[in-house]
Structure 1
């Protein structure tokens, strides 16, 4: 390529890349840097103003206080439970959509899975609050309702984030060649053996990719648990309370490092599965 066209190509590429890269570096990474730095600040007990002097008191409290440790374990447990339930529900549904359903049924199922994403988060959460009410429709129909609490939180979060698991798993099943499945069958493998030894290794990166969404979204959620969680407290609620109610930004920042660290560790664990290539 001659020098002049090559230069124009580089200039055009630079104009295209500078705005998103600037947004990523300044707005996203910059805000994370401020968050991490502010975790080492303190707050004046008299005025409530942030004091920009270095201290590790907030981090020490996060590590040593029982309420924070218990809430962290509960939050991670909820996120993992939601992820597992979403995977259990998504895998058979995605398999049917990709390999069994007719084209018309497949389109209908894709629409059914993705349509809730267009509805308001709050509308969906409050709809589940009504359904799970001790005197709500679920109790009328079955005679039982979990009421508000940890179980209701897991159910609501599973509903909210299930499409984020179904779509990547569905895409992973579609990438499995039918000829490979037929070859396994021709060689004498049963359907279960084919699913376990041939299909599962090819689909697992899609499940792992979906789990990144469900885990991270559940880990940082604080609205659903406020609506259906009753007295249940997750990290998101405590961070919100420290920031808005207690007006303690440094403590909120220190607590925010817990889910941030958990997500980074989860991404590191998923990196070897090929999940990041399927996100």
Structure 2
């Protein structure tokens, strides 16, 4: 029987899609929990703005996670990674009959392939350390279906399946792999969804927000800090026996 390795004194955590919303909340929480950070995203200015607010060691890396070569180069220049949070993502809506090849491929590239590329880049280092945490930010769309977002839901279902398979591969190596699946979260992505409903239905912004909030049994939107709290717990030694799970942060929408 093996004894799990202990968390490093100052784990190095990489957060993709770190510049705002859920990513920024996760960065602040992990910094508060003693991690050194690397913030990954596509916009340098936004990443540097966030880094300036974090009182811990903090690197900024500009990288498109959907580009395998860019990920390989960016992660190859980093010190060993102990925690990887795959948060980079994008959501677009369309009926299946109007889902273009480009939209389909874009949803898979950013949400699913990017998760794979980044995870693959850190696994050897985690194995050598005998300790690692991979947390994939999926969605309740990876646990159930929603109309008009088939491409996004397919990608997030893929993230959940990837999470489960990888968790089994690395379970004996001191590495846990889990997915956190937020419901509708009060971020810029939600604002775009509300604007889309307003444009296509003629409802007011207040009515559109109420329509989405009603999907949550708590009748509220999830906050980025709600998601960050779950991620932070999964990165502790106290969660060492939790792997391959898809944790719904959705006020009871998915059980």
Give the alignment's TM-score, normalised by structure 1: 0.26
Q: TM-score, normalization: structure 2?
A: 0.28
Larger Rg: 1
Structure whose residues are more often strand by fraction: 2
The higher relative CO (CA closer than 8 Å, separation ≥ 6) is in 1
Q: Which has the higher helix share?
A: 1
